[in-house]
Chains A and B, each alone.
Chain A
Amino acid sequence: MKHITEYRDSTLVKSLVRKIDALNPPACNLMEVCGTHTMAIARAGLRDALPPQIKLISGPGCPVCVTAQRDIDYIVELARQPGVIIATFGDMVRVPGTLSSLERQRGDGARVAVVYSSDDVLSLAEDNPDDEVIFIAVGFETTAPGIAATILEARKRKLKNLSFFVTHKLVPPALAALGGMKDLKIDGLICPGHASIIIGVKVYRSLSAEKKLPCVVTGFEPLDMVEGIYLLVKQIVEGRGEVENQYSRLVREEGNPLAIKTMYKAFEVCDVEWRGLGIIPASGLRLKQSLSELDASRRFKVKPVKSKEPKGCRCGDVLCGKIPPSACKLFGKVCKPESPVGPCMVSSEGSCAAHYRYLVVSI
């Protein structure tokens, strides 16, 4: 695979790991904000390869994990409505709400279609004119512009039986919220490569300058991640706190302005609730007023169950990097990938699932 295989060269990865070691790093906590990083690190087995004093902490960058319990309960309730087809990315299917999940509703007869692209729901709606198709719009800036384009296209085609349940979130406000937490000790941020393609490198500058926090926008192949970590450790050792761009083959200073423009043609910024972080001002997206007829939460007035986060579940603390998954009493005992209690165990990129797969050893 061109532009992938080059970045999996084990000899290069190993010699770069030696370079990290040669920097003689102090004990430091690096947060990988993005869940895809969490997953890629687990898959490549990088934790084992790095010097032991470098600790990788997983942040709030898994869209499934940070979706509020209330939103999941609402989605489950939408799936229970007669004549409804829920279209979703596979990621959302198994996330447990207070009482049920999409997967369990499917067992009860709900129709749930897993799609690869939001564009695929256009034909799904056209092929099922007698049903109401609801697309679950989750994700960060990487995903939101595409979904915005789909929404605009749905309106252009005057699709009457397609609507959207929107629970998009934005990366920079969450990072700012994390930065403001006193009990959190992070020495460097591994910034999300693909979200940064859209929002650019510039968004990290104020946070980095304010906290003198090393930030490196990083790609997802093993060599990318090791280089990103190398650059962070070098900054820490040299006492710098800057923004660097390891993923320069794809990420530009300004991001992709056209993507952002598309995003704001369909969405507007709103306050939104994050699991673990609470309500963060101006950290989410909702449909613009002019598109409100496509809003599933307006079209379907459903009454979801009273949302309750599972007792003892500490996904919230895990998501802010306050505790490692293994510090949660449920981890690996009650809460396992096959019987997840909290969202961090459901999503394959959730930190609990990634750690379980990895640490099952020590339990």
Chain B
Amino acid sequence: MRDRKITLGHGSGGRLSHEIYNKLVLKYFGNPALDELDDSAIVKGGKDIAFSTDGYVVKPIFFPGGNIGKLCVCGTVNDLSVCGARPLYLSCGMVVEEGFAFSDLEKIIAAMSVECKKAGVNVVAGDFKVVEKGAADGIFINTAGIGRLERRLKVKDIKAGDRVLYLGEVGAHGTAIIIARGNLKIKGAVKSDCRVLSPYLLPLLSVPGLRFMRDPTRGGLSGVLCELAGGSGNSITIKEDALPISKQVNAVCELTGLDPLYLANEGAAVIVVAEKDAAKVIRIVGAQHAAPKIREIGCVEPEKQGRVYMQTASGGRRILEMLSGEQLPRIC
């Protein structure tokens, strides 16, 4: 049999990505902290800490609403925050291609510092490497982050009757990137939703009925809901009508045949909360300065199948699956 090659689909956050985690990462690195495959690992050592890492390879490097620097800080801070940890320290490893503009590098680092201040984190370790022209595409950044665990949230705690809330909007980052790449020649004023979520999520850790949080980045809303349903064993139903999808995002999707439920978000969170505390969570988030919109989009079913259903706006029912491979614009 011929040796398989890595395809773009392996990086899409869908099924193929899970294959990498399961067949390679867990196979060689498996340990109790990693096996949870959560957005951050909870490691032992005095007080429990959360530890997370992520690589950033966005193209274009600058896009409406942010750049790779803003993205890497937001991404790591958000991964810690959704796990119930207060983000404290970041490391930053940069791989830069020979010939990259110094001023661009400074813009990227300045954007990182702005987000660090918002989140109250410090970059305490770093690395900078330059590779020959052609060996990287501009700049790649890896950030790792450490946070102090304030509340351990477990996907297994999700119960029938819980409410599914959504903070932010659906598909804005993915759409902004598609427009910014320019190859589809579509114009529109869509900005990435890239932002740190810790100011809105950390105050929720004191809500007793809070069950679980996840940020729907690659793989989109659909991917996260499938992970929650699969992880908890309970089915989830969401309502299409309730989804915060902007008109522009929708229009781009209609034109290109992309599904907003599989587009990446960088400033959004899915929050599962006990029914009795759902209103409280919405109130707490709403009270924060410049908070994105939060709303209920669905609920957890008693059914033990671990599936995700969507009540469609036209009255039907659709099953949501994880993305298989990379999402491509289509004409059919």
Interface positions of A (Cβ within 8 A of B): 1, 4, 8-10, 13-14, 17, 35-36, 39, 42-49, 62-64, 89-91, 93-94, 103-104, 106-108, 113-117, 120, 139, 143, 222-223, 336-338, 347-349, 356-358, 360-361
Question: Assuming A143-B331, A337-B324, is B185 touching A48 (CB within 8 A)?
Answer: no
Among A42, A46, A62, A349, which residue has its beta carbon within 8 angstroms of that of B314?
A46
Tell me if B329 and A49 are in contact (CB < 8 A). no
Bound complex: CA of A120 vs CA of B331, how far in Å? 14
Tell me if A104 and B5 are in contact (CB < 8 A). yes
* Chain A min CB distance to B167 (Å): 25
Stretch from B7-15, B22-30, B68-76, B267-275 contacting the other chain = B7-15
Tell me if A116 and B184 are in contact (CB < 8 A). yes
Bound complex: CA of A43 vs CA of B312, how far in Å? 8
B332 interface hit (Cβ, 8 Å): yes
Tell me if A10 and B329 are in contact (CB < 8 A). no
Tell me if A116 and B7 are in contact (CB < 8 A). no
Interface positions of B (Cβ within 8 A of A): 5-9, 14-16, 19, 183-186, 247, 250-251, 254-257, 305, 307, 310-319, 321, 324-325, 328-332
Which residues of A have CB within 8 Å of B329?
Answer: 89-90, 114, 116
Question: Assuming A90-B328, A91-B332, A336-B324, is B254 touching A1 (CB within 8 A)?
Answer: yes
Given A116-B255, A349-B330, 10 other A-B residues pairs in contact with their CB atoms under 8 A = A14-B315, A44-B312, A44-B316, A48-B316, A89-B331, A90-B330, A104-B5, A106-B8, A120-B183, A120-B185
Pick the most buried of A9, A39, A103, A338: most chain B CB atoms within 10 A of its CB. A338
Tell me if A91 and B318 are in contact (CB < 8 A). no
Question: Assuming A1-B251, A103-B9, is B314 touching A347 (CB within 8 A)?
Answer: no
Bound complex: CA of A49 vs CA of B312, how far in Å? 10
* Chain A min CB distance to B12 (Å): 10
Question: Assuming A106-B7, A338-B16, is B316 touching A114 (CB within 8 A)?
Answer: no
Question: Assuming A1-B251, A337-B324, is B316 touching A45 (CB within 8 A)?
Answer: yes
Closest to B312 in A: A45
5 interchain pairs (CB within 8 A)? A1-B254, A64-B332, A89-B329, A116-B184, A222-B315
Bound complex: CA of A338 vs CA of B318, how far in Å? 19
Which residues of B have CB within 8 Å of A117?
Answer: 185
Tell me if B318 and A358 are in contact (CB < 8 A). yes
Among A36, A47, A114, which residue has its beta carbon within 8 angstroms of that of B328?
A114
Which residues of A have CB within 8 Å of B325?
Answer: 94, 103, 337-338
Which residues of B have CB within 8 Å of A8?
Answer: 313-314
Which residues of B have CB within 8 Å of A338?
Answer: 9, 14-16, 19, 324-325
* Chain A min CB distance to B40 (Å): 26
Closest to A226 in B: B314
